[in-house]
Amino acid sequence: MNGPHDLGGMHGLGPINPEAEKEEPLFHAEWEKRALGLTLTTGFLGQWNIDISRHARERQHPIDYLSNSYYENWMAGVEKLLVETGLATQEEIETGKMQQPVPQDIQDKRVGPDQVAAILDKGGPCDFPTDQSQTFQIGDRVRVKMMNPTGHTRAPRYVRGHVGEIVEYFGSFIYPDENSKGNKVADHLYNVKFDGKDIWGPDGDVEIHVDLWRPYLEKM
């Protein structure tokens, strides 16, 4: 979707100021650790996937999204999903007090502290077979489709409508646009190289590489 999260090429937001000259900490406050933990542990319950989770954050009002810090946006997404899946009510979130029992099948999915490290080490591979034809080959010139999807997508606005060259093929991976709707399907994933001047103008003297799924592209 076209939302406040897709900031590439946007004007008026000022420069990016990374914490230069020192290694940026993973967390800036203790509560951020808990936010990460809550996001992971609620995800273990199997009621949503990573793309549904991302889309929940994106569906905030733009003012809220841009006003929040990184982990505040994560918490906003978790709260939205807890309410939408019936795992919590808005009143429970606001009061911090449980008012209805958690269904037994959800309780059975709880993970103990001694299990977390092994689960995180195992990870969750996103490669997945597809019946779709590969369509493109390395060296092909392709244009990113000019689209304005209403759902989740991983095609950034700043490359839509622009022409690039396929320089790498990764295989077939879970297609996020459908995964965010709960449909586990895969499609072919490519790395596409763009001339920065075509995108940013004469001062954009850089190569830009973006990983893009087959449905985002059309052959020149």
Could you tell me the CATH number of the domain that includes residue 40? 1.10.472.20
* Domain final position from 122, 157, 173: 122
Task: Determine the 3-state secondary structure of 109 from DSSP.
Answer: coil
Contacts of residues 15-21 at CB distance under 8 Å and 24 or more positions apart, as own/partner, are none
User: Does 68 score more than 80 pLDDT?
Assistant: yes
User: What is the model's pLDDT at position 186?
Assistant: 98
Residues 116 and 185 in one domain: no
Which structural domain range is residue 152 located in?
141-219
Residues 153 and 118 in one domain: no
Is 136 part of a structural domain of the chain? Answer: no
Average pLDDT, the chain: 93
Residues 112 and 154 in one domain: no
Residues 84 and 147 in one domain: no
How many other CB atoms are found less than 10 A from the CB of residue 194? 21
Tally of domains within the chain: 2
β-bridge partners, 142: 164, 219
Is 135 part of a structural domain of the chain? Answer: no
Q: Which two tokens stand for residue 153?
A: 């997508």
Is 8 part of a structural domain of the chain? Answer: no
User: Does 71 score more than 90 pLDDT?
Assistant: yes
Q: Strands across the sheet with 217-219, in order?
A: 207-213, 186-195, 163-174, 141-144, 217-219
Report pLDDT digits (tens) over 100-159. Answer: 888 899 988 888 888 888 888 887 888 999 999 999 999 999 999 999 999 999 999 999
Is 24 part of a structural domain of the chain? Answer: no
* CA gap 120, 108 in Å, rounded: 19
Residues 146 and 115 in one domain: no
Residues 109 and 38 in one domain: yes
Of 107, 29, 126, 14, nearest in space to 75 by CA: 29
Residues 109 and 160 in one domain: no
